[in-house]
Amino acid sequence: MTPHWSPDGQFIMFGAEVEDRGELFLINAQGGAPKRLMADSSWGKFSRDNGSFSRDGKWIYFDSERGGKSQIWKLPADPNARDRKAIQVTWNGGRNPIESPDGKHLYYLKTGEAADAERLMKAPAAGREETEVLPSVFRANFAVAEEGIYFVPGSSGNQYSIQFLSFSSRKITRMADIEEPVWGFPVSPVDKGGTRSLLYTQGRWRDWNLMLVENFR
What pLDDT is recorded for position 204? 67
Predicted confidence band of residue 197 (pLDDT cuts 50, 70, 90)? confident
> What average pLDDT does this structure show over 93-119?
88
CATH of the domain at 90: 2.140.10.30
In a domain? residue 211: no
Task: Give residue-wise pLDDT tens across range 133-190.
Answer: 999 999 889 999 999 999 999 887 788 999 999 999 999 999 999 988 888 787 777 7
pLDDT for residue 161: 93
pLDDT of residue 82: 80
Q: Cα(70)–Cα(47) distance, rounded to whole angstroms?
A: 9
- Domain encompassing residue 124: 4-178
Percent above pLDDT 70 for the chain: 89
How do residues 70-91 score in pLDDT, each as one tens digit? Answer: 889 888 888 888 878 888 889 8
Do the domain assignments include residue 212?
A: no
Residue from 124, 16, 106 nearest 61 by CA:
106
Tens digit of each residue's pLDDT (9 = 90 or more) over 32-52: 999 988 765 555 555 555 789
Residue 188 in any domain: the answer is no
Q: Label residue 89 left, alpha or beta by phi (over 0 means left) and psi (-120 to 50 means alpha).
A: alpha
Does residue 104 fall inside a structural domain? yes
Residue 201 within a domain: no
CA dist 186 and 197 (Å) reads 9
Q: What is the mean pLDDT of residues 9-27?
A: 84
Residue among 84, 82, 98, 89 nearest 66 (CA):
89
> How many domains in the chain?
1
pTM: 0.82
Burial 26-61 (b: 16+ CB within 10 A, else e): beeeeeeebeebbeeeebeebbbbbbbbbbebebbb
State the pLDDT confidence band at 97, using cuts at 50, 70 and 90. very high
